[in-house]
Amino acid sequence: MKGIGDKVWDRLIWNSQHNRMGWGGNAGIVDGINEEELNRFLIKVEWLHTELKALNPKTIWEIGTNYGSWSWLLYNTLEEFHLLTCDIVEGSREEIGFINEYYQKENVEFFHQSSEAFLKGRSGADLVWMDGNHEEEWVKREILWIEATKAPIVWIDDWSWWEIRKGVEESGTNYKLDRMSPNGDVAIMRLEGVSQ
Ligand SMILES: C[S@@+](CC[C@H](N)C(=O)[O-])C[C@H]1O[C@@H](n2cnc3c(N)ncnc32)[C@H](O)[C@@H]1O
């Protein structure tokens, strides 16, 4: 895949190894903490790359910017896109600045906001990458804030975590599980009754 080994990739790996505490111990989809983890994540990244190419979304929102792995993936997958991404950690801004500068584009816009403030009153996403606070009670509320924006498709990371699954399943959301990634780690959800 294009992008593996570029300067942004190196920085993602460095952040995952030396700076994950900057985000409360949270790492991104590119995680080089050890070889086994990196290989596991690479399988997921390749799958996401293929799915994104097929869907070709234009306006994408991300909950949980972290050190910018998703931005790296989009720059190396889609020709045209606008990513609006939010995180409660201000340090994500510098990472997004570095990534935009490296690719010499301004396709990624960072919001230093919690998902609640970011989502409320917003509309127009083709795809939401839900990957922020993983606590069950938060997930339960967040999926409903996303639903209120009428985003037709949500991809949920870490679907294999019971907290995430339970939060979504008990929220009463109208997003229905379409399918999962081969390792069960990402769920593709679609909003019932919305044309896509
Ligand atoms: C697993 S990481 C995200 C990885 C990233 N999305 C990727 O694809 O590589 C989770 C991130 O969510 C952020 N976060 C936690 N609570 C949040 C909230 N309420 N709103 C937005 N971001 C939040 C954390 O600071 C952390 O950076």
> Does the C-beta of 64 come closer than 6 Å to ligand 1?
yes
Each residue's pLDDT tens digit, 86-129: 999 999 999 999 999 999 999 999 999 999 999 999 999 999 99
State residue 68's pLDDT score.
98
Q: What is the maximum span of the chain, computed from C-alpha positions, in angstroms?
A: 45
The reported pTM is: 0.97
Each residue's pLDDT tens digit, 163-191: 999 999 999 999 999 999 998 999 999 99
Phi/psi for 2 (5° steps) reads -55, 145
Each residue's pLDDT tens digit, 54-74: 999 999 999 999 999 999 999
Complete domains list, the chain, with CATH:
42-191 (3.40.50.150)
State residue 40's pLDDT score.
82
Q: Measured between alpha carbons, how far is residue 20 from residues 41, 108, 142, 184, 193 in Å?
A: 16, 21, 24, 24, 40
Q: Measured between alpha carbons, how far is residue 69 from residues 78, 97, 191 in Å?
A: 14, 13, 26
Across 76-95, average pLDDT: 98
Distance CA 161, CA 92 (A): 24
Nearest to 194 by CA among 127, 122, 105: 127
Q: Over the chain, what is the mean pLDDT?
A: 96
More confident residue, 170 or 37: 170
Nearest to 121 by CA among 144, 145, 137: 145
> Does the C-beta of 133 come closer than 6 Å to ligand 1?
yes
CA 28 to ligand 1: nearest atom: 9
Nearest to 76 by CA among 109, 34, 37, 48: 48
